[in-house]
Chains A and B, each alone.
Chain A
Amino acid sequence: MAKAPANGSDLLLDIRNLRIEAKVYPPGEAPRTITLVHDVSLTLNKGKVLGLIGESGAGKSTIGLSSMAYGRGGVKITGGEIILNGRDIRKGGTQGIRALRGREVCYVAQSAAAAFNPAHRLMDQVVEASILHGVASRAEAEKRAVALFRKLSLPDPENIGKRFPHQVSGGQLQRVMTAMALCSEPDLIVFDEPTTALDVTTQIDVLAAIKEAIRDTGVAALYISHDLAVVAQVSDEIMVLRHGKLVEWGGTRQIIKEPRQEYTSALVSVHEIAHEEKKPDASPFLSVRNVTAAYAGGKIKVLKNVSVDILPGQTLAVVGESGSGKSTLARAITGLLPPEQGSITFAGRTLGNRLAERSRDDLRELQMIYQMADVAMNPRQTVGTIIGRPLEFYFGMGGKERDTRVAELLDKIEMGRGFIDRYPAELSGGQKQRVCIARALAAKPRLIICDEVTSALDPLVANGILKLLLGLQAEEGVAYLFITHDLATVKSIADSIAVMYRGEVVRYGPKSEVLKPPFDAYTDLLLSSVPEMEIGWLEKAISGRRMASAGN
């Protein structure tokens, strides 16, 4: 554990033995207090960027927000000192804390779309803190805001402030939020996963804009992310956290090149699973032929003439940014959105376009797993009921026979029979997704459609899910249609790949061919936008781009 040198006069933030606790209310148990952050200390010099990294529950955001003496929900700072600009902010009282929030320390949230008030124009929100704290008059603040919009390469910087949040795209909102944080000229900005919710092609633009703004304004930053490759692009130092404890703290180069702790090494090497591509030797059992589909009564075309094949026991990955039609393709295949043109053939016969035209057996053969495992399960049913339901519905199983099968399925997803009587709320994110996988498997389908199933999970947990899916494919011979925006995941699991862009398949074929140059412009953009664990990758990637991303 390398303690970074902190030169006294340059010291901005000095957190000593921070302890943060929260009261939790577990279902069926008495409320108890748990410790979220265990005596963590950190220092940050003026104008420097410290990256905080770890999986969810590591205490990253909690530590970040403590620099503003803020605790979400029932979270309380119960011990330690938070010294900002030479004084302990916890001793300043409510007035003192309010005076520093939005003035000395500003916050950029993960979802700017939710963090902006829908009822007010952007400009009013951007300048609000500056005017409140008397940093500038309204006219000065607005002038500064426009300059910041320009610096962050927002389109039409003079007028974008007149818009309402819903009139601006997610990537742009994230940049407006960065401008809002910079507007009152704070000493420190807390960036809390500012690019996590964005598409990979948009993330790179926002990341570059944030990095440039930090450099030019000389503001210090705490940059929180679960993605080490992203943090490595903007940080001078990186702190690795786990379960609210410090794992490792050092310079960016040291952390990603010479990690000293085992956990850090695991984070650095998490992305790749070596997956040998299966030969496309069998004939496809499911073919999508020239499918065109639309929402709003044919007005908004979301799929244009899409054709793909799925081979038995193989994985077709569908990649593309949000709005490219990936999930709509899944909806068309399952019959939830009847295509306007084209057909879907399954095992040699044409499937009914609409759900009502399909037999129960057709439904059984195609199962789905979703991104949000917790909302895909009935919170009032036990794991046993959830997994047992398809057994009853499709196979008419009951009693002991069903319970035995549920236990087998639980073994398959590496969870064990002890979970039969648990409720979804008692499971972790990864366990919930495993239960959803078991539920899909219970129907003995030939195809499972996986819609962003690892996107909401921490890298190490997501990795476990991918390995499980690969193992199940080898055992059961089930095929996957794997929808994702994450190219690292694609490399780990796919046999063939379809790249989608604005409703069309722009590149399609076996994995080795799709990922082999020469690339078309969009695939090139997509591939070059995936952050790499390399210092200076961001600048290289930006300068080497051939086209701008669509959805920024």
Chain B
Amino acid sequence: MSSPILKLIAQRVALGLLLLLAVSVLIFAGTQILPGDVAQSILGQSATPQALANLREELGLNAPAYVRYFRWLGGVLTGDLGTALSSRQDIATAIGGRLWNTLFLAFWAAIVSIPLAIILGLLAVRYRNGWIDKTISGLALASTSLPEFFVGYLLVYFFAVKWQIFPGISTVYDGMPFLERMKAIALPATALTLVVLAHMMRMTRAAILNVMQSAYIETAELKGLSPFEIIRKHAFPNAIAPVINVVMLNLAFLIVGVVVIEVIFVYPGMGQYLVDHVAKRDVPVVQAVGLIFAAVYIGLNIIADIAAIVANPRLRHPK
């Protein structure tokens, strides 16, 4: 019954995996193009040629690039992301805790921002061109126009420094009580919400307004439905695909785009980890984090595609 759907979904997943493979090649190639190699980075500028040669032999850096690529890829597939050069720590272990922190922050930012954006979008359509719509759109535009670091510092200034409601530095540690943790992430989560809210809200509004031109909206009006019922029951279900798309894009941003916010609030997440190790020229870590970010991005976009396919009654119920 749903064979065309299954086929489409299988296509999307296969395409996503292929894309991820291509990205891994790109990441690997990119780090190879950089001047100097791992041995040079470890031993520093003053290393003797003999010491370099020994270390290269030890790390297997003399093998051709494609061999090293497959060795790296094989490690990634078996959960071995390698060892960080700077700290000699296992990257997978280090990333484990930080990825969880990033997801925790992204989750709470998403829980607040997605429903809020959609509700505000619906309200803006219901009172379109009125003062409510203009206020919502204006505030949304203003919050997008401000750079995220500015929003972050603004929050820190008012909530941490002036009124001292929330901490300005979001320190979290293992075994921290839940409420403490929530209090710690309040400001970065708010900043993230403000950053992604406007985009989602405006796209929701635009998608629904587009559907509001349809003849079936007139049919609903002529049945005597109230304006809000019309939007909820007749317009929104047909606008769901573009809305899901923009929601997923922003979810991806919440996970991979938090670098700036994490640095501002000194939050121990993936973004901060990445920035730290870029500064230390720790190539294996940069590779690993880049690959994980790419996987998250591609994965969420596949989910958006699949959701859009499933939301289409023409595909769900073929003739």
Binding site for B on A (CB under 8 A): 68, 70, 72, 97-103, 106-107, 109, 111, 114-120, 125, 128-129, 132-133, 163-164, 166-167
Are A117 and B218 within 8 A (Cβ)?
Answer: no
- A and B contact pairs by CB, cutoff 8 A, 12 listed: A72-B218, A98-B225, A102-B224, A106-B222, A109-B215, A109-B219, A116-B219, A117-B216, A117-B237, A129-B224, A132-B223, A167-B317
Are B313 and A107 within 8 A (Cβ)?
Answer: no
Please name the residue on chain B nearest to A120 by beta carbon.
B237
C-alpha spacing A549/B222, complex, angstroms: 32
Decide if B145 is an interface residue (CB 8 Å cutoff). Answer: no
| Chain A residues within 8 Å of B218, by CB | 72, 109, 115
Please name the residue on chain A nearest to B226 by beta carbon.
A98
Are B234 and A101 within 8 A (Cβ)?
Answer: no
Are B224 and A116 within 8 A (Cβ)?
Answer: no
A-B contacts counted at CB < 8 A amount to: 71
Are A132 and B224 within 8 A (Cβ)?
Answer: yes
Are B317 and A164 within 8 A (Cβ)?
Answer: yes
CB distance from A144 to the nearest CB of B (A): 16
Decide if B144 is an interface residue (CB 8 Å cutoff). Answer: no
Decide if B129 is an interface residue (CB 8 Å cutoff). Answer: no
Please name the residue on chain B nearest to A107 by beta carbon.
B222
| Contact A166-B224, Cβ < 8 Å, known A107-B219, A117-B216 | no
| Chain B residues within 8 Å of A163, by CB | 317
Are A114 and B215 within 8 A (Cβ)?
Answer: yes
Please name the residue on chain B nearest to A65 by beta carbon.
B222
9 tightest Cβ-Cβ pairs between the two chains A and B: A102-B223, A101-B224, A114-B215, A119-B237, A102-B224, A129-B223, A117-B216, A98-B224, A107-B222
| Contact A117-B219, Cβ < 8 Å, known A100-B224, A129-B224, A166-B319 | yes
C-alpha spacing A106/B314, complex, angstroms: 28
On chain B, the number of residues with a Cβ less than 8 Å from chain A's Cβ atoms is 19
Please name the residue on chain B nearest to A166 by beta carbon.
B314
C-alpha spacing A128/B230, complex, angstroms: 12
CB distance from B38 to the nearest CB of A (A): 52
C-alpha spacing A111/B215, complex, angstroms: 9
Select A117's contact among B234, B317, B319, beta carbons within 8 Å: B234
Decide if B83 is an interface residue (CB 8 Å cutoff). Answer: no
CB distance from B224 to the nearest CB of A (A): 4
| Chain B residues within 8 Å of A99, by CB | 224
C-alpha spacing A166/B222, complex, angstroms: 22
| Chain B residues within 8 Å of A166, by CB | 313-314, 317, 319
| Chain A residues within 8 Å of B313, by CB | 118-119, 164, 166
| Chain A residues within 8 Å of B317, by CB | 163-164, 166-167
C-alpha spacing A166/B313, complex, angstroms: 9
| Chain B residues within 8 Å of A107, by CB | 219, 222
CB distance from A63 to the nearest CB of B (A): 15
| Chain A residues within 8 Å of B225, by CB | 98, 102, 128, 132
C-alpha spacing A119/B317, complex, angstroms: 11
Are B223 and A101 within 8 A (Cβ)?
Answer: yes
C-alpha spacing A97/B224, complex, angstroms: 8
Select A118's contact among B221, B222, B314, beta carbons within 8 Å: B314
| Contact A118-B238, Cβ < 8 Å, known A109-B218, A111-B215 | yes
Are B215 and A128 within 8 A (Cβ)?
Answer: no
Are B220 and A117 within 8 A (Cβ)?
Answer: yes
Are A128 and B223 within 8 A (Cβ)?
Answer: yes
Please name the residue on chain A nearest to B311 by beta carbon.
A119
CB distance from B13 to the nearest CB of A (A): 25
Interface string of B200-227 (1 = CB under 8 A from A): 0000000000000011101111111110
Select A115's contact among B219, B238, B314, beta carbons within 8 Å: B219
C-alpha spacing A117/B219, complex, angstroms: 9
C-alpha spacing A114/B214, complex, angstroms: 7
CB distance from B226 to the nearest CB of A (A): 7
C-alpha spacing A163/B313, complex, angstroms: 10
C-alpha spacing A163/B317, complex, angstroms: 8
